[in-house]
Structure 1
């Protein structure tokens, strides 16, 4: 996954919608969703809906969150990878 990929760009746009207070240049593949991008539980729900619409597939972000030992270490790159897997699985 590169930061110039179509998936990354589309997910970044969704992050901007739910966290407009975050400067766009802070959204990198290494950014923590919780610590750097201010994504809380309410924004997770909102982000799930936006991503489902963007990618026309079922996206359940809590499924991704429970896969990591420390949710604060969940990164933008991991989110993009998860979405790519979900889209490929159809």
Structure 2
């Protein structure tokens, strides 16, 4: 009986290696696109168009979006410098 232990171990190791190499979980397979099939990019464009339509409801959707005419480049340089100095002190 003791003589069979190494042989059982070898068989178990070979079987484990075989299973590790050959076993693969089933993956989803695509059947192929038939007539009327959409690509991912077409679906994304469709969803984006629906989102834009939901955002534009009511009277305000009839108006053109107002563009900013402000020429301000941001806060004054003095304020920016004070903020940077404060951050450096942290």
Q: Check whether TM > 0.5.
A: no
Name the structure, 1 or 2, with higher relative contact order (CA <8 Å, separation 6+). Answer: 1
TM-score computed with the length of structure 1 as normaliser: 0.21
Please say which structure displays the higher CA radius of gyration: 2
TM-score between the two structures when normalised by the length of structure 2: 0.21
